[in-house]
Amino acid sequence: MLRAALFDMDGVIVDNRDAHLRAFEVFADRHGIRGFDAQELLPYFGSTNAVIMSRLFGRDDLPTEEVERLSQEKEAIYRELYDPIMQPADGLVALLEVLRGAGIRIAVGSSAPRVNVDFVLERCGIAAYFDAVASGSEIRRSKPDPEVYLLAARKLGVAGSECVVFEDAFVGMEAARRAQARVVAVASTFPREMIRQRGGYDWLVEGFPEVTLDGLSRLF
């Protein structure tokens, strides 16, 4: 039975892929990383900054304090770039209204740091729709580990198997599956055909205007 809806943030609540890519380009330039192609980081989108920074610098031994400092620098660049153009994904607010009206609990389950989650929810004016937030600031294991979605479900007082997860990233879809949730794949960060070939979802949509409460209920 559907009792809760969990939303990834980046690429789902907001279509911010290009802002993150540009932020990584600016960040890499500041740190003298030559021959950098931000597109190469796309497979790691949905992971925590610790994972992405290790790929970016080619090191798995970055101290925790250094990862935190570098992550804060990159995310500050991202927020500066994205703030002027930020808006919720098309159809999101209407869906949140429907879910709320049906008594479905709603949470964010994101690998992003809590400061970024709050930034997006507040700037988009949608914070009041969410009953809980589980962020990268609270977890020890990045997606595809299910920790962030299990934490979100626990904060809502439901089981993972009673949740539907909205995800755009492959590591996020795997995390949702491992949390025993149903998965709605949103074709925002990756092309629809690529997602179709990879599988690992229950419903594939281009965006929220396609999503109905009846359609979600039929996943259970």
Mean pLDDT within 170-196: 96
Q: How many angstroms separate the CA atoms of 177 and 217, rounded? A: 17
pLDDT of res. 143 = 94
Mean pLDDT within 33-43: 85
pLDDT of res. 57 = 86
Mean pLDDT within 10-34: 90
Tell me the one-letter amino acid at 69.
Answer: R
Residue 60 burial (C-beta neighbours within 10 Å; 0-12, 13-18, 19+): exposed
Mean pLDDT within 45-57: 83
**Of 99, 102, 122, 97, the residue nearest 14 (C-alpha):** 122
pLDDT at 214 over 90: yes
Is residue 112 within 8 Å of 12, Cβ to Cβ? no
pLDDT of res. 40 = 85
Strand 4-7 relative to strand 163-167: parallel, antiparallel, unpaired?
parallel
pLDDT of res. 170 = 95
pLDDT digits 0-9 by tens, 108-165: 999 999 999 999 999 999 999 999 999 999 999 989 999 999 999 999 999 999 999 9
Enumerate domains of the chain plus CATH numbers: 4-15+86-217 (3.40.50.1000), 17-84 (1.10.150)
